[in-house]
Amino acid sequence: MIIEPRYGRMRHLPSVVGLAVSLAAVVVVFVPFAFDTSPLDAVMLTVPGNQGNWWHALVGAPFFLAFPMIWLRLRSLVSGQPLTPASYRIISVVAGLSICGTIAVEAPFLLHLAGTSEWQRVVILALGFGIIMATGATLYWRRGRMTPDRVGIIALITAYLANAALCLVVYSDATGTLKSRSGWVITMTIVWPMALELIGTYIDNFRKRGSPAFAEQ
């Protein structure tokens, strides 16, 4: 009688942790990431030196995925109802557009036009495209075996991480005080639990694909 409630709480632990991470991600939207510029500033093109352009807007926009992440995490904690088809389509479109934007942002790195060092270029391309392709393969192989809510959160995390990895590498050498780079520091902290959740999904996919029960389905 005492153990069952504890196990019930343990089942909600990933959602609680994910909610805390998503709340921290929302903070990043409004605080300086680098050069006293927040993702909100980037989207509004209010970049120092009047240098805002489409690249900055596309880089800043994926940080706003923290808001639908919070919504999905709260749903998993307080509601047992699955996503409606309309909500599922909206989440999929939002994540897909963000991924397309990140691919466009990485085009200068692919074409050697970004002005970064070679190691930065390789890391950015490997992480950005690697995360997207790994998740795409996982969702393809497990389509129909994951709940809409789970697919939605995985899609949002993928879109968020693909862009966050790029920003963390590009602005790793940015100068300034801790306060002027607080968004970078917070993002560096929260990407790890997000990455672990994705990696857990990848591992679960390969384990179930290799099991006889999965093969018979």
What pLDDT digit, counting tens, does each position of 103-152 carry? 999 888 877 666 667 788 888 888 888 999 989 888 888 767 788 888 99
Q: 34 phi and psi, to 5 degrees? A: -160, 145
Q: 37 phi and psi, to 5 degrees? A: -120, 125
For each of the chain's 217 residues, which pLDDT tens digit applies?
333 344 445 566 777 888 999 999 999 999 999 888 999 999 998 887 767 688 889 999 999 999 999 999 988 888 767 788 899 999 999 999 999 999 999 888 877 666 667 788 888 888 888 999 989 888 888 767 788 888 999 999 999 999 999 999 988 888 777 778 899 999 999 999 999 999 888 887 666 654 444 343 3
Pull the structure tokens for residue 109.
Answer: 């790195």
CA 14, CA 52: separation in Å to the nearest integer? 38
Is residue 56 helix, strand or coil? helix
End-to-end CA, the chain: 36
CA 124, CA 199: separation in Å to the nearest integer? 18
CA 136, CA 159: separation in Å to the nearest integer? 11
- The pLDDT value recorded for residue 90 is 95
CA 68, CA 26: separation in Å to the nearest integer? 10
Match 């949002």 to its residue by tokens: 156
- The pLDDT value recorded for residue 187 is 96
**pTM assigned to the model:** 0.86
Length of the chain: 217
